[in-house]
Amino acid sequence: MNRKWVIVIASVIAIILCIAFYFLHKEQRQKELEEKYALIEEYNYAGGALHMEAETSKYDETGDPHDIELTPTDLTYELLQRWEAIAEVIPTIDYPEEAVEKEDWLEVFSTLANNRFEAMDVSKEITKGEEDEATDSMAILDYIDVGAVHNDYFREFLEENGIEGSDRRRLE
């Protein structure tokens, strides 16, 4: 009888260990998948925000998101030029010169995203006119993104600082 109990207890422990291993492995695999998809989303956001082309053929073979290759376009370089010009005259706006040189596009995107609220605050100050006039919190971000200048106060700011701005006013 004693030997039977040892076998039963050993079997129960083995089953418990198998179940525990299964759930631990499942949780770890789920975490890996979440990290993988988060990185894919980051590449997606970076490519879109920086107007880049994404080459995914190597990723399609390996399934490793690090194999996604972002390639700058003319629009990317224009965005970077506008961003650098703004960062030169507004010291609180960061420009990731080193990351651009290294072509670390995820870091460049991260810096752009981290500048968002500062750019909005500064935009409000630059576009502040008379008391009854609305400010444009997106002036700097719109300018960096596509070169849009929708506000006369922002246009004056660009001109005063030797930055060229296109004339893409919203239809009123």
Q: Cβ(36)–Cβ(65) under 8 Å? A: yes
SS3 65: helix
Look up the pTM and report it.
0.78
DSSP 131: T
Per-residue pLDDT of the chain (172 residues; tens, 9 = 90+): 687 777 778 787 888 888 878 778 888 888 888 888 888 899 999 999 999 999 988 888 888 888 899 999 999 999 999 999 999 999 999 999 999 999 999 999 999 999 999 999 999 888 887 666 677 888 999 999 999 988 888 888 999 998 875 544 333 3
